[in-house]
Amino acid sequence: MPEPRNPAAGTARLAGALYLLMMPFAAFTLYVRYSKMIGSDPATTASNILAAPGLYRAAIITWLTSQVISVFLVVQLYRLLKPVDATLALTMLALALIGVPIVFANESHSFAVLLLLTDSLVSASVEQSAADLMLQLQLHERGIALAQIFWGLWLFPLGWLVFSSGFIPRWLGILLLIAGFGYLFDFFSAAMNPASTLKLTQFTFIGELLFPLWLLIKGVKEEGRVAPPSPSGTPT
């Protein structure tokens, strides 16, 4: 007889696949923006973008695509972890979704950069446009910092749900909690000292890589997805 189908394993593997799928889209955007486009001065930045406007637009599209994927991801994680604690899973879902419209709205600054550069070519007001360009890029960075609040906050309920689940290793939950602290540290660091280049997330991201890998490769056992017993010993 074939083994009975395990819906939880399918949900876990889909969540892991979506998490991993989101990463290269976001990584491409970050690489293009910070390695290829944004220079040390307005003139260099404008020249870089004008030399490859298609690449700059592609970076916007991939960034927004990563956010769309994140919506489907967090819904699957909610389905997977709801049996552990429904209220906490809903909190995780809400915090993750709040960040998405912030990111979409923030990309208006990226589109504004393209418009400013187009206008500068027509009007020849290059100096003014360069100053406006840097202002838009700085506003975009502030928007990213704001989104980091929710990128960090949603990892706290997620980490605790993983830690408490009984069907996912506890150490993955701890690493996700550490990742959440990393995002919040980066936000407060940018808010207190915008010139700071210290990014804690470059050291704390490992949980966000190992967690989806574990879900994709290992999945979960259906019998493990039961609500934990109440303090009185009576099943909830």
Domain-embedded: residue 122: yes
Which tens digit of pLDDT belongs to each residue from 74-119?
A: 999 999 999 999 999 999 999 999 999 999 999 999 898 888 887 6
Which tens digit of pLDDT belongs to each residue from 178-226?
A: 999 999 998 888 778 776 677 888 899 999 999 999 999 987 765 555 5
**Domain that includes residue 12, residue range:** 7-154
Domain-embedded: residue 187: no
Domain-embedded: residue 229: no
The mean of the pLDDT values for the chain is 85
3-state secondary structure the chain: CCCCCCHHHHHHHHHHHHHHHHHHHHHHHHHHHHHHHCCCCHHHHHHHHHHCHHHHHHHHHHHHHHHHHHHHHHHHHHHHHCCCCHHHHHHHHHHHHHHHHHHHHHCHHHHHHHHHHHHHHHHCCHHHHHHHHHHHHHHHHHHHHHHHHHHHHCHHHHHHHHHHHCCCCHHHHHHHHHHHHHHHHHHHHHHHCCCCCCCCHHHHCHHHHHHHHHHHHHCCCHHHCCCCCCCCCCCC
Going by C-alpha positions, the residue among 90, 89, 73 that lies closest to residue 81 is 89
What is the per-residue pLDDT for 219? 78
Domain-embedded: residue 95: yes
Domain-embedded: residue 236: no
Which tens digit of pLDDT belongs to each residue from 23-66?
A: 999 999 989 988 888 877 777 888 888 888 889 999 999 999 99
What is the per-residue pLDDT for 4? 47
Domain-embedded: residue 65: yes
Put simply, whether the predicted model's pTM sits higher than 0.85 gets the answer no
Domain-embedded: residue 200: no
Residue 69 has pLDDT above 70, yes or no: yes
Residue 140, amino acid: H
How many separate domains does the chain show?
Answer: 1
Which tens digit of pLDDT belongs to each residue from 137-168?
A: 889 888 888 898 999 999 999 999 999 999 99
